[in-house]
Amino acid sequence: MKIRTGIASAALLTAGVFVANAQSVGSNKVTVTGCPLPGVEAKCLVIRGPDNVTYNITDAKQKPEIGQRAIRLTGTATKKLSYCQQGVVLSNIAWTYTDQKCK
């Protein structure tokens, strides 16, 4: 039992180091149009791009409504880790609603 606890502690410490060292990719601008979806973790938001890449949009200042209308967004792709554990994390997110309804 002590070995499992030690292994779990080491894993958490390592994850903390990676989070602390995460840096922005730079000017990797992303533009996506689609429907915002709930992430696998509570309070997480994602959107799927046309290339089936999942983007984490949880950092959006104002949260779009889920299941209403599609959004068009721009953001910067980063190498940041997120508690959402899903998708490419976007920062500097700006979005607007489109006329397209979500299914």
Looking at residue 13, what is its pLDDT? 36
Tell me the whole-structure pTM to 2 decimals.
Answer: 0.71
Reported as a single tens digit per residue, the pLDDT across 32-73 is 999 999 999 999 999 998 889 999 999 999 999 999 999 999
Q: Which of 22, 90, 81 is nearest to 55 (CA)?
A: 90
C-alpha span between 15 and 37 (Å, rounded): 26
CB 72 within 8 A of CB 96: yes
Percent of the chain with pLDDT strictly greater than 90: 68
What Rg do the C-alpha atoms of the chain give, in angstroms?
A: 16
Task: Please give the residue that has the higher pLDDT: either 27 or 30.
Answer: 30
Give pLDDT, residue 49: 87
Half-sphere exposure of residue 82, counting CA atoms within 13 Å on the CB side?
26
What is the distance between the alpha carbons of residues 24 and 38, in angstroms, rounded to a whole number? 24
Q: Which CATH class is domain 24-101?
A: mainly beta
